[in-house]
Amino acid sequence: MLDKFGRNIDYLRVSVTDRCNLRCRYCMPPEGVKHLAREQVLSLEEIEKLIRAAVKAGVKRVRLTGGEPLIRRNLVHLVQKVSRLPGLEDLSLTTNGILLAPLAKDLKRAGLNRVNISLDTLMEHKYREITRGGSLAQVLVGLEQAIKYQLTPVKINVVVQRSFNLNEIRDFISLTRNSPIHVRFIELMPIGCGGKLDKEFVSAQEIKDMIGADYDLVHDTLTGGGPADYYRVRGYKGTIGFIGAISDHFCAKCNRLRLSADGKLRFCLQQDRYLDIKEPLRSGASEEELVRIFTQAARNKPASYRQSGWNENENMNAIGG
Ligand code: SAM
Ligand code: SF4
């Protein structure tokens, strides 16, 4: 699908639930957020139908996300159906990793290619603090199982926050020494609860400058690399990447659409504009009509989020990060 600016839109992020088993401080308030009513949430059959239409429209890569996608019952079944769609080249999942260990083998068998695990600290007490109650030990077993069952390349997403984990950057880099783990340092975005944490922001450039002198870094590339800029410490098995969500101007290369758990097809993470695809789906739209809605959504993508500013009013769990 080509948009008005000549970008090829072939990547769809699908939020399978707005719910989560954690409450990361930059994503959700401690008391949680108001959840969608059950009937508003797309069923797995509806999600499958929409992904099928998206692939017909030209989508080649799909990422399942949330909320926390692994709390959605029968997710493995959805993976099984979607992974078989002709034309789909890559099916991946973003997870906090809490429920990954018992599911990794089944997910791989069902056809999932790879996982991204969100992990902001390697210290148990800090993990409990930032996620408001999560267990780091569970995530680390999940990471081990993801590597064991070859949900690879396994990527770890670290949202860098100045007073919280800037002092752990070297520990994360050490993870890449002997394991094929790909750690990506991500800039904190002023979305949802992140909007109140502006003092915690650290730019990708600052991190590069901080570590550049201490490591022999060589440029690298990675499957499904997206907007990250990758390096390898010479001799290490894994890589490190930097995602300058704020400081880099990667809108010109943006190739994605987002489908929320309640069937909103969004053109840009930073805008609250969307096309409702749930209503036509539930009113019996044909596959051709659904394909047309995806194509129209691609055409509606803005050149840049700077056209409209940041969407600070919604939390990432609702948009599907
Ligand atoms: N629950 C899953 C997880 O945490 O991986 C998937 C959904 S979560 C919304 C997707 C990603 O968004 C996570 O890597 C999380 O760290 C990131 N995220 C959430 N709020 C953010 C913010 N304000 N700035 C930067 N990244 C954020
Ligand atoms: Fe849940 Fe992911 Fe948001 Fe953390 S970042 S609260 S794990 S949806």
Distance of alpha carbon 236 from alpha carbon 178, whole angstroms: 6
Our mutation pick for probing the ligand 1 site, out of 13, 18, 28, 94, counting the most ligand atoms within 8 A of Cβ, is 94
pTM of the model: 0.93
- Torsion, Cα of 185, 89, 181, 256 (10° steps): 10
* pLDDT score of 7: 80
What digits encode the pLDDT tens for the residues 178-233?
999 999 999 999 887 888 899 999 999 999 999 988 999 999 887 665 677 899 99
Report how far ligand 1's centroid is from the alpha carbon of 143 (Å): 17
Of the listed ligands, the closest to the CA of 24 is 2
Q: Is 189 in the pocket of ligand 2 (CB under 6 A)?
A: no
* pLDDT score of 253: 77
* pLDDT score of 178: 96
How many helical (H) and strand (E) elements, i.e. helices and strands, does the chain have? 11, 12
Give phi and psi for 126, each to the nearest 5.
-75, -35
Our mutation pick for probing the ligand 1 site, out of 162, 316, 317, 319, counting the most ligand atoms within 8 A of Cβ, is 316
Of the listed ligands, the closest to the CA of 158 is 1
Checking if the pLDDT of 319 tops 80, the result is no
Q: Is 191 in the pocket of ligand 1 (CB under 6 A)?
A: yes
* pLDDT score of 212: 84
Strand segments, DSSP code E, in the chain are 11-15, 61-65, 90-95, 114-118, 154-160, 181-187, 217-220, 229-233, 239-243, 256-259, 264-266, 274-276
Shortest-distance Cα residue to atom 8 of ligand 1: 321
Distance of alpha carbon 303 from alpha carbon 5, whole angstroms: 7
Give phi and psi for 90, each to the nearest 5.
-150, 125
What digits encode the pLDDT tens for the residues 94-132?
999 999 999 999 999 999 999 999 999 999 999 999 999
Q: Is 317 in the pocket of ligand 2 (CB under 6 A)?
A: yes
| CB contact set of 61 (below 8 Å; sequence gap of 6+) | 10, 11, 12, 88, 89, 90, 91, 92, 224
Q: Is 28 in the pocket of ligand 2 (CB under 6 A)?
A: yes
Shortest-distance Cα residue to atom 2 of ligand 1: 95
Do 150 and 113 touch, CB atoms closer than 8 A?
A: no
Distance of alpha carbon 174 from alpha carbon 214, whole angstroms: 12
Please identify, by atom number, the ligand 1 atom nearest to the C-alpha of residue 116: 5
Lowest mean pLDDT among 43-52, 59-68, 77-86, 270-279: 270-279
* pLDDT score of 79: 98
Average pLDDT of the residues of the chain = 91
- Percentage with pLDDT > 90 across the chain: 74
What digits encode the pLDDT tens for the residues 36-70?
999 999 999 999 999 999 999 999 999 999 999 99
* pLDDT score of 244: 87
Q: Which residue segments constitute the domains of the chain, with CATH numbers given?
A: 11-319 (3.20.20.70)
Please identify, by atom number, the ligand 1 atom nearest to the C-alpha of residue 26: 23
* pLDDT score of 50: 98
Report how far ligand 2's centroid is from the alpha carbon of 27 (Å): 6
